[in-house]
Amino acid sequence: IMLFEGYAIFGALFMNAVWIIYEYGNANGDDGNDAALNRAFECIMGIALCCNIFLSIYAAGCWMISIAMDSLNEEFVFECRTMLTGLQNLLMFTSQFTQFGLFLAVYKNLYPNLPEIIVTLSFAIIMYVLGTKYFGRHMATCMSLEFWHFPLFVQFMSAPSS
């Protein structure tokens, strides 16, 4: 199934983004930052990294299985629904935790320079709000019936502004 291939490839690519944000947030070490903020950042990025690693591992494994078993089982695509749902959930968790970690990384890295923090976080928040708005509108338009039948947490994590 090509979806497994997509999850595996993009999961591996997203791992670089998670790690870059983690490193960016720790560029200045812990100098001048609140210990609770540092622990929160480490926890959020740790969760994002775990979700991302498991996304890549499971998707790669399913991709290999789909190559080997797809032609042997007529119901293979139908039977993959649960695993695809799990991979989509891991992707959404990775995305949300990484975006929140980005906000904390900007604050940690630019502290105590308040003007730079305000400008950078304002831009990041505007991009986040606009991106989720357009993505939510796109999902609701392209797959309107399916989207509204997703569980509420999936709707919120996929498109919080819709």
Mean pLDDT, the chain, rounded, equals 82
First-residue to last-residue Cα distance in the chain: 29
For residue 115, cis peptide bond before it (omega within 30 degrees of 0): no
Flag whether the pTM goes above 0.85.
Answer: no
Compute the distance between CA of residue 67 and CA of residue 79 in angstroms, rounded to an integer. 15
pLDDT class for 120, splitting at 50, 70, 90?
very high
Structure tokens at 87: 């991979």
The pLDDT tens digits of the residues spanning 77-117 come to 778 888 888 888 888 888 889 989 999 998 888 888 899 99
The pLDDT tens digits of the residues spanning 35-79 come to 888 888 889 999 999 988 998 988 888 888 888 776 677 777 778
| Share above pLDDT 90 across residues of the chain, in percent, rounded to a whole number | 12
pLDDT on residue 112: 83
Distant-in-sequence, close-in-space partners of 144: CB < 8 Å, separation ≥ 6: none
Helices (H), the chain: 2-25, 35-69, 76-79, 81-110, 114-142, 144-148, 152-158
The pLDDT tens digits of the residues spanning 122-138 come to 999 999 888 888 877 78
